[in-house]
Amino acid sequence: MIELSVSRLNKRFGGNHVLKDVSFNVNGAEMIGLIGPNGAGKTTLTNVLDGALKPNSGTVYLNGKRIDQLPSFEVAKSGLGRTFQVTRSFRRMTVLENLYVPALALGKSRIGIEVKEQALEVLGFLTMDHLRNEYARALSGGQQKLLELGRLLMLDPDIIILDEPFAGVHPKLMEVIYEYIRRVNEQGTAIIIISHQMDSIFALCKRLLVLNYGDLIADDTPEAVKNDSVVIEAYLGTTEDRSRTGQQDAAGEAQ
Ligand SMILES: Nc1ncnc2c1ncn2[C@@H]1O[C@H](COP(=O)(O)OP(=O)(O)OP(=O)(O)O)[C@@H](O)[C@H]1O
Ligand SMILES: [Mg+2]
């Protein structure tokens, strides 16, 4: 069974204490929402979990193996992958070539039939077969998000962290991405999803983590979190205020 164990993580940037003793566990193919105000530390937590940043203290274990001191490619090999708040794709490669990159990064010296078949399978899953020979730069923002999800799936991960998968995506494609996230989860991958889009988070997740300027202030069901006065004070109250003035998600969309 998939098991992620995050224990007392601290991360500081100079005097800015961005993660303060953050601890939580993921057990099995859960779908967990990670929410909190802009600057709360959500992306930083992702960067620490995927090995892009080293914590100042604390530990991360994935399936019993310590991963907090490993470089990102080793973390990916161990089964944890992530997408980026600002999508990253190899713009001058084709869609298919983009999917080959993770295999190369894992040390394969050439792209064998196995990788090719897996790439085609992933493209089929994402219903992007017809785009296989397009350059990544020709894709829409939403399609690039899908391609990024596809690159993650090539690693056959145990757990993936999606940093704002809906931000800046056309509403129609948002529904498509939403469905893929659900299906990936159903197939046995644990997912942590960061989003300011509360409707999607509440619809997708059975458990929410709330980060507030470095403190994990809640780890509970959406219902409990919705009624938690500390969370309302720190975050949800302000989201509602924003939606009343028609500015909901402006922060998320801008990034
Ligand atoms: N590489 C870095 N160097 C210095 N400070 C950083 C770095 N990355 C993040 N920070 C700081 O850490 C804090 C948390 O930022 P982070 O990007 O993790 O927040 P977030 O919760 O992802 O916000 P958002 O919802 O806007 O994406 C902020 O004060 C930010 O300025
Ligand atoms: Mg962020």
Q: Is 98 in the pocket of ligand 1 (CB under 6 A)?
A: no
Q: Is 197 in the pocket of ligand 1 (CB under 6 A)?
A: no
Give the whole-angstrom CA distance, residue 169 versus residue 139.
12
Q: Is the pLDDT of residue 250 over 70?
A: no
Q: What is the pLDDT of residues 214-233, one digit of tens each?
A: 999 999 999 999 999 999 99
Name the pLDDT band for 142 (thresholds 50, 70, 90): confident
DSSP 8-state symbol, 131 = G
Q: Is the pLDDT of residue 30 over 70?
A: yes
Q: What pLDDT does residue 238 have?
A: 57
Which domains are present in the chain?
A: 3-253 (3.40.50.300)
Q: Atom 13, ligand 1: which residue's CA is nearest?
A: 39
Give the whole-angstrom CA distance, residue 232 versus residue 244.
15
Ligand found nearest the CA of 40 = 1
- In degrees and rounded to multiples of 5, residue 80 shows phi and psi of -115, 125
Tokens matching residue 207: 């458990």
Q: Is the pLDDT of residue 45 over 60?
A: yes
Name the pLDDT band for 86 (thresholds 50, 70, 90): confident
Q: Atom 18, ligand 1: which residue's CA is nearest?
A: 41
pTM of the model: 0.90
Q: Is 41 in the pocket of ligand 1 (CB under 6 A)?
A: yes
Ligand 2 ion local residues (Cβ < 5 A) = 42-43, 85
Q: What is the pLDDT of residues 159-202, one digit of tens each?
A: 999 999 998 888 888 888 999 999 999 999 999 999 999 999 99
**Cβ of 25: how many Cβ atoms within 10 Å?**
12
